Amino acid sequence: MNRIVLLKSLFPVLILLLSLRIVYSADFYVSPSGNDKNQGSREKPFATLRHTILAVENYFNENGTESCTVWLAGGEYSLTEPLILKAENLGNGKHNLLFKAVSGANPVISGGIGLTYWEKLPEGLWRTELPEMAGMAINPRELFINDERAIRARFPNEGFLRIKEAGTDRRTHFYFEKGDFIVPEDCSTLELVLLHDWSISRIQVKEIDVSESRLTAVDSIGAKNPSFFNLDHWEPQPRYYLENAMEFVDADYEWFYHQDDYRLYLKLPESVRPENLKITVPLSKGLIVLEGNEGQMIKNIHFDGIAFKHSSWELPEKGYCGVQACHFDPRPGKEGWSVVPAAVTATWAENCTFNNCSFMNLGGSAIVIGTGSRNCRVSNSLIADVSGNGIMIGEGRDRELNGDKWWKTAPAQAAQGNTIENCTITACGTQFYGAVGIWCGLTAETTLRNNHLYDLPYSGISVGWMWSPEPTPCRNNVIEGNHIHHIMQVLSDGGGIYMLGLQPGSKLTGNRIHDVSLNVGRAESNGMFLDEGTTDVVVAHNLIYSIAKSPLRFHKATSNLVEKNHLFCSGGNPPIRYNNTKEEDIRKVGNIIFSETDEGYSKELTKSVRQWEKEFR
């Protein structure tokens, strides 16, 4: 009898606790078919991520140490501007916040809009007028059809033209051969894409003088700093092509956009209609921002099983003139270099992770783990079809603090202890060819492990950002067990791994690098290129083969150790090239070296590949 009385007395309390569990649950659910007026439960999910984040912030303010999971159902979550998670809005940071796909679901966070209303024109052309979204005019640089990047109308359709002669100032204009290309009637939309050795310029055309066969850009072609980016510095007749003119729409799935009248034109095969395709242009300038500060880090934010797509980035007013690895001349602007932004950006972040995610169809770079970030991780993820860099860690040299460069006045602000592992990174630099798969600036204790990087226009991995042995916070970076191949496919003067600057305690170990192309330009490309100031680096147990030039190259480097590497040489190239580097400064111990003319070359290469796969895969 006493038990019955006790249960009756507890019943109202249990009902209250259950109701609180629904309202203040540590689990929120969101679905494209949900409703933001719902409670965010499994049965009644929210509809938008923006509303869900507000609910999460309220939850953390009331439950400071409790963790929370946001479950995403399958489907597309559309954004017109980035979702910003700020440390100041998420409580004391002693909890975890996990964004996770529901089992079996494939949620997509997209910054794009679909184009659905098309008018048929002659010769396979279709036309649509882009809407104005949330007061923002859309100026797309990418268009995706069924998640494949369509070709922005260009001439020639493949390959490149070559300038005939640089103009008198070697910067703003050049001469071309008559008949090289169809001169568009309207040049106001036309963009020049010119290739330098290890970077490119994308800049609007100001004028084409047909009588003199002269093309003039709206500003200097090539970065103004460094000053040697003259048109004919590397080659007297560099490569170029032209993009975004109606006259160039001559192949299926090419498109052209005229910003003045908001009209987009697309050529399709006669048997294909646009209403049967998923056609998307990016709108949102970024997707996710994790924002902390030096006094309050943003901590313990995790993403698992989420796809990120369709982030946009517009060129600066006076064009994009690249320097290296998607850093560029700001125009008009300040001193120093700017950098192509990313779809996902974290600054002053600690213990934030991305696991089993994908980053695809992006207009800028994919991920930045930036200033002050510590112990963050990207793992088991795919980065593909990205206009800029794949993953960026840390920052460069230019930011000033207390009247001097940050790395001098506050070296503790360097990104530290971050890890990229078991990721696949491919088809980066689709728009900005000087991009790299993974870029690390002045970082410390960074680990890049067991990643697969391939099909890249320039270098695979780049670590360091000081062209001298001057001390910086850059130290103890480990690049191990990565498989890098079919890189340097467009530009020159790079390698599977590119390194520079003083980096005490840093190691390049157990990496497999092969199929590095030979490209036009003044400088060669290599398996590993250890550039200016590379010092105190261990290069050990790496397997490098099928390289058009030398497997290793040092340029203005000082003391480094090269130990027990398997270096396979082709075309009579030496295993190591020394450019302005004292050979005696590079200590070599126990390396296995084969030339393709040596007996047993193929057998030894096969043995080395099998050994690497056994050890690192």
349 domain-assigned: no
Domain match, 71 and 117 both: no
310 domain-assigned: no
Structural domain span for residue 66: 2-76+92-98
Confidence of residue 1 (pLDDT cuts 50, 70, 90): very low
Instruction: Please list, in sequence order, all residues whose beta carbon lies within 8 angstroms of the beta carbon of residue 342, skipping any fewer than 6 positions away.
Output: 286, 311, 364, 365, 366, 367, 368, 388, 389, 392
Which residue in this structure is represented by tokens 């090539």? Answer: 222
pLDDT for 617 equals 76
pLDDT in tens, 353-399: 999 999 999 999 999 999 999 999 999 999 999 999 999 999 999 99
pLDDT for 133 equals 60
Classify residue 581 by burial, with Cβ atoms within 10 Å: 0-12, 13-18, 19+.
buried
Domain match, 26 and 161 both: no
pLDDT for 12 equals 42
C-alpha angle 398/393/614, rounded to 5°?
145
Alpha-carbon gap, residue 139 to 281, rounded angstroms: 9
Helix (H, G, I), strand (E, B) or coil at 165: strand
Alpha-carbon gap, residue 184 to 250, rounded angstroms: 13
| pLDDT, average across residues 465-486 | 97
Domain match, 430 and 476 both: yes
Alpha-carbon gap, residue 612 to 514, rounded angstroms: 13
Kind plus residue range of the DSSP H or E element containing 553:
strand 552-555
pLDDT in tens, 176-228: 999 999 999 999 999 999 999 999 999 999 999 999 999 999 999 999 988 99
Q: What is the DSSP letter of 248?
A: G
Confidence of residue 114 (pLDDT cuts 50, 70, 90): very high
pLDDT at 20 over 60: no
Domain match, 124 and 56 both: no
Is the sign of the CA dihedral 462, 465, 471, 472 positive or negative?
Answer: negative
Please tell me which residue, 617 or 336, carries the higher pLDDT value. 336
pLDDT at 25 over 60: no
Please tell me which residue, 524 or 416, carries the higher pLDDT value. 416
Q: Select from 240, 261, 279 the last residue of a domain.
A: 279
154 domain-assigned: yes
Alpha-carbon gap, residue 499 to 502, rounded angstroms: 10
Is the sign of the CA dihedral 610, 614, 616, 617 positive or negative?
Answer: positive
Domain match, 52 and 125 both: no
Helix (H, G, I), strand (E, B) or coil at 71: strand
Overall domain count for the chain:
3
Cα separations in angstroms, 330 against 141, 192, 201, 516: 19, 18, 12, 31
pLDDT at 543 over 90: yes
Domain match, 72 and 117 both: no
3-state percent breakdown (helix, strand, coil) of the chain, nearest 5 = 10, 40, 50
307 domain-assigned: no
Q: Say if CB 291 and CB 371 are below 8 A apart.
A: no
Alpha-carbon gap, residue 533 to 527, rounded angstroms: 18
Q: Say if CB 100 and CB 74 are below 8 A apart.
A: no
pLDDT for 137 equals 65
188 domain-assigned: yes
Token code pair at residue 298: 């943003």
pLDDT for 66 equals 85
296 domain-assigned: no
Q: Select from 279, 296, 315 the last residue of a domain.
A: 279
Domain match, 464 and 543 both: yes
Alpha-carbon gap, residue 387 to 457, rounded angstroms: 11
Domain match, 169 and 57 both: no
Task: Using only the alpha carbons of the chain, give its radius of gyration.
Answer: 27
Token code pair at residue 564: 């027990």
Q: Say if CB 531 and CB 557 are below 8 A apart.
A: yes
pLDDT at 134 over 60: no
Alpha-carbon gap, residue 326 to 201, rounded angstroms: 11
260 domain-assigned: yes
What is the amino acid identity at position 235?
E
pLDDT in tens, 388-440: 999 999 999 999 999 999 999 999 999 999 999 999 999 999 999 999 999 99
Q: Which long-range contacts (CB under 8 A, 24 or more apart) does 271-274 make?
A: 274/115, 274/116, 274/118, 274/126, 274/128
Confidence of residue 62 (pLDDT cuts 50, 70, 90): confident
